[in-house]
Chains A and B, each alone.
Chain A
Amino acid sequence: MKITTIALNTFKEAKRDRVLYLLFFFVAVCLIFSRFLALLTVGDRVKIIKDVGLASISLFGMLMAILMGTGLVYKEIDKKTIFTLLAKPIHRVEFLLGKYLGLVLTIFIMTVLMTAVFLLILFLHTFTIDWKILLAILYIFFELCLMTAVALLFSTFSSPILATLFSLAFYLIGHLSWSLEMLIKKVKAGAGRVVLQALYIVLPDLENFNFKTEVVHNLPIPTSLLGISFLYGVVYTAFLLLLAMLVFRRRDFI
């Protein structure tokens, strides 16, 4: 299938991206550092390692997704490799989907690597394996898939720097959904409130994928939320990709 061909090619290209090595280095540093951080503080050491570890994987995974996603499509257009590709009997949406899947594959591999390092450090410290950690990381991965779609969307119409900034802003907004909720409670009922409520629903809520607190503090994870969050992620990602397709299909490649 044409999409898989492009996906595999994208993966081949993405894994050569120097950004990945840099970020992987930083993640390894963070994970090892958390071990020493635990020595300096007052709190429960295992909790700290888990907390810092999960946060690092989330943060650096997000950076990888954004930096790769915004760079890849732009590079194709800038270097004009895209001309011969689109001159073939292929739909532009097939090209876009192929790029997306290739990126997701790359992010998946990187997540697996980071998880391996993390679990190793945890195991050396606690001599047990907490399977709930894997669940938290799985949902971090879903969040990363969504962020990849965001990066791809922005890269279809802006330069890499702008696209990166927009993607980072999207990430921040996604994690501050609760503050919008608090704001709505303080606003008087009326047109303004309705607008804010509509915004609140439409803007992404990335906290739905965040199970760090539950896993670190051994709180129960509501199973209904697992299912709904997953669906939310899938549908929102589809929404973003559809937007990207709508923009990309009519773009002139001068």
Chain B
Amino acid sequence: MGKVLELEKVYKSYKLGFIPKKKLVLKGISFSINEGEIFGYLGPNGAGKTTTIKCILNLIFPDSGKITIFGEDSLKPRAREKVGFLPENPYFYDYLTGREFLAFYADLLGLHGKAKEDKIGYFLKLVGMERAADLQLRKYSRGMLQRIGLAQALLNDPALVILDEPMGGLDPIGRKEFRDIIVNLKKEGKTVFLSSHILQDIEMICDRVAIILAGEIINQGYLGDLISEKVLYTEIIVAGLPPSEFSRLGESVTSSGDRVLLRVYEQEKVDQVISLVLQKKGKIVSLIPRTETLEDIFVSMVRNQ
């Protein structure tokens, strides 16, 4: 199983300002993606995520370093034959209809005749844009543009799909649909490169991640390895008892009406709370153990830098 995408010590700098001052944006980026996985690329805004993607796609030329896609050097157009790309804030020729837009890209990819029609129909259905297919792109909402953009990225049946902040600006339903589509891509055997700063999405669907900060990869690996299963604390919501009852057992976070939200750190204390509530004839509304999330790791890493 070869590497689908591999970056090795990629450096990129820009010359900014009237008196050109060199600004180093990528400082030796190295990571790789395996076949069939969903890879998350996360970092705060301005860390260099989009720059990295543009280097991969040959829209920007790195100062040094090597990038290979399916073993081909990224500098050759051939490397992108099996790649689909959805940019951030996509913008397309607004006078075309959705269908015409897909037809244009299909032509570019060398699809003709029936195969072309079928593919266009299939992907319109997949991203849920069938009804708006004959509307001009200028009339599309942000979410609709993102969907049709995804359709365009999938047209040539790519083995590697690169998505740059694909779920920005989508409503919760839209985000769920996108997540489902991505997971389905993995089921079909495709590899997905997902760049985002929304940690919840990454956490839900990615297998491996790399975290980039100020042009450097500060951590990468399997999500399971990065996040321990350790329970940080347990949140218990109790009804029918005053907060004073729990003063020595745990921290009372809030109380509204007759409900009390407790945060209990030690495991034995949790059992004590449960028995106390049952004893005093109160009611346990909910009990949720809170584990370490990606956000926790991320925030602590950023703080350490």
Contacts and interface: CB of A to CB of B under 8 A. Distances in A.
Given A13-B93, A83-B87, A88 B105 contact: yes
Interface stretch (B55-63, B183-191, B234-242): B55-63
A191 interface: no
Contacts of A83: 54, 57, 59, 85, 87
Given A9-B104, A254-B14, A86 B93 contact: no
B255 to A, nearest CB: 51
B125 interface: no
Contacts of B61: 250, 252
Interface stretch (B75-83, B167-175, B209-217, B245-253): B75-83
Contacts of B105: 84, 88
Nearest to A16: B95
A9 B83 contact: no
Interface in A60-96: 79-81, 83-91
Contacts of B80: 87-89
Contacts of B43: none
A253 interface: yes
Interface string B82-99: 010111011111011000
Given A84-B92, A254-B60, A5 B107 contact: yes
Given A16-B95, A89-B81, A250-B61, A84 B14 contact: no
A185 interface: no
Nearest to A4: B107
B54 A253 contact: yes
Interface string A214-254: 00000000000000000000000000000000000010111
A79 B91 contact: yes
A16 B96 CA distance: 12
Interface residues of A, number: 23
A2 B108 contact: yes
B152 interface: yes
Nearest to B14: A254
Contacts of B108: 2, 5-6, 85, 88, 90
A127 B268 CA distance: 108
A90 to B, nearest CB: 6
A65 B85 CA distance: 33
A161 B80 CA distance: 34
A2 B96 CA distance: 18
Contacts of B48: none
A254 B50 CA distance: 9
A9 B93 contact: yes
B95 A88 contact: no
Given A9-B93, A84-B90, A89 B78 contact: yes
Contacts of B59: 83, 86-87, 252-253
A87 B60 contact: no
Nearest to A76: B93
A12 B95 CA distance: 9
Given A81-B92, A90-B77, A91-B77, A252 B60 contact: yes
A84 B93 contact: no
B14 A87 contact: no
B93 A81 contact: yes
B87 A84 contact: yes
Contacts of A2: 107-108, 110
A80 B93 contact: no
Nearest to A13: B93
A89 B96 CA distance: 22
B123 to A, nearest CB: 14
A81 B101 CA distance: 12
B302 interface: no
A84 to B, nearest CB: 6
B17 to A, nearest CB: 14
Contact of A13 (B85, B91, B95): B95
Contacts of B60: 252-254
Nearest to B109: A88
5 contacts: A5-B104, A79-B91, A81-B91, A90-B108, A253-B60
Given A5-B108, A84-B149, 4 more contacts: A12-B95, A83-B57, A84-B86, A89-B79
Identify the 6 closest CB pairs spanning chains A and B, nearest first.
Answer: A87-B85, A5-B107, A89-B81, A89-B80, A89-B77, A87-B57
